[in-house]
Every structure is written in C-alpha cells, then in structure tokens.
Amino acid sequence: MQHSVVPDLAHTRTRPIHWVATATAVSAVVALSSVLQPDAATAAQAAGPETGTTRTQAAPPDPAAVTFPLDCASVEPVVVKKATGDLDGDGRPETVAVVHCDAPMGTPPDGVYVLTRGSGDKPRVVATLIDPEERRTVTALAVADGAVSSTYLGYSATDVPSCCPDVEEDAKWRWDNGAFVRSAPARAHAV
C-alpha cells in the first residue's frame, strides 16, 4: 500500500501578515459604512377616505361576549352563523349573529341580532332583525356593501307543524336614518 504525500500548502497556515490584511479589510468596511448611510426612514400612513385622518381597524364584536334577548330556560343560546361588516358607515365593523336555544331535539327558531361595540368596548345587541317568535330557521347569512342579507325557512300558516317549514324567503336589511329597514322580500317560495 502506498501513501500519497500532500504538499504543504502555504495558504493553510496563518501568518501575521494574514491577520494584518484581514484587520485592514474589516476596518475599511466599517469606515466606509459609517460614511455611506441610508436615507432617513419616512413611513407615512395613507389618509382615511372620509375624514383625511388615519384609522385603525377595529375588531368586530364577539358574539360570545353578549347576552342575547332569548329565553332558553334550562339550555344555553348558541351562535350558529355570523357575519361582519360596517353596516352604519362609521368605519367600525358590526357583527350579525344567528342565535337559537341549544335544544336537544327539534329545530329551535333562530333570532338574528346586530351587535356593535358599547361603552368600554363591550359588545351589545343594537337590533333584532328576526325575532325567534317569528319561527324562522336561517339557512344563509351575509353582510356585503353595508347590507345584511338572509335566506330563511318559515311557515305559511300558524297551524303548519314546526318540523316542516313550507316557505323559503329572502330578506335584506340596510341601516337608514337610525334604524335597520327591511326591503320587501322578492317572493316567498314554497319549499
């Protein structure tokens, strides 16, 4: 077996001249960086569209922090749908929540409530769009362009059993002059 001999490479041994060259290069970089500074940072925020001032995006009201005007007796209310958006044009989002009693059987009627931030930033109910006493079951909910739209199932007469809604309707509400105004439903459709 033959051993190969590797020649002694000059650049693998450190000599004082290498340290002097490295120190000189580092000093040159530090000196040059202190002369060449970037321009001062200028961060400007865009102005708000209506008032010319900046706005911070507020979090929408949390339905879990609200006591809904529902009498659920021994069960708790449950939020089954929610949508958020600025409904009154003040730049802060509202939350629209579909809520019913968490009944172990059957299909409890839904209530549709609008929530906003109250004093101290605590959410509160400011409007009821569908009252549970109307015996409606909401199947779709959306907030867009400052309006709330909903599709729900209901009953053509009071003697129709709760198990079997026979009407489907669409409704839309828009904030107008201090209240939510419902547009006339397009038409009730038989289910």
Is 95 part of any domain? yes
How is residue 47 written in tokens?
């102005």
Res. 52 pLDDT band, cuts 50 70 90: very low
Is 118 part of any domain? yes
Is 24 part of any domain? no
For residues 126 and 68, the answer to whether their CB atoms sit within 8 Å is no
Q: What is the pLDDT of residue 45?
A: 39
Torsion over CA of 45, 49, 55 and 57, rounded to 10 degrees?
-110
Q: What is the pLDDT of residue 98?
A: 97
Q: Higher confidence at residue 100 or residue 118?
A: 100
Q: Minimum mean pLDDT among 1-15, 49-63, 165-179: which range?
A: 1-15
Q: Could you tell me which residues come within 8 angstroms of residue 106 by beta carbon, excluding any fewer than 6 positions away?
A: 162, 163
Res. 46 pLDDT band, cuts 50 70 90: very low
Average pLDDT, integer, range 140-159? 94
Is 28 part of any domain? no
Q: Higher confidence at residue 98 or residue 164?
A: 98
Is 89 part of any domain? yes
Is 77 part of any domain? yes
Res. 150 pLDDT band, cuts 50 70 90: very high
Q: Minimum mean pLDDT among 15-29, 48-62, 149-163, 175-189: which range?
A: 48-62
Q: What is the pLDDT of residue 31?
A: 62
Is 91 part of any domain? yes
For residues 136 and 152, the answer to whether their CB atoms sit within 8 Å is yes
The DSSP H or E segment spanning 159 is none
Res. 30 pLDDT band, cuts 50 70 90: low
Does position 29 have pLDDT exceeding 80, yes or no?
no
How is residue 162 written in tokens?
């709760």
The DSSP H or E segment spanning 85 is strand 77-85
What average pLDDT is seen over the chain?
79
Is 159 part of any domain? yes
Q: What is the pLDDT of residue 51?
A: 42
Q: How many other CB atoms are found less than 10 A from the CB of residue 135? A: 19
- Residue-range definition of the domain harbouring residue 176: 63-190
Q: Could you tell me which residues come within 8 angstroms of residue 113 by beta carbon, excluding any fewer than 6 positions away?
A: 66, 68, 69, 96, 97, 99, 125, 127, 128, 129
Number of domains in the chain: 1
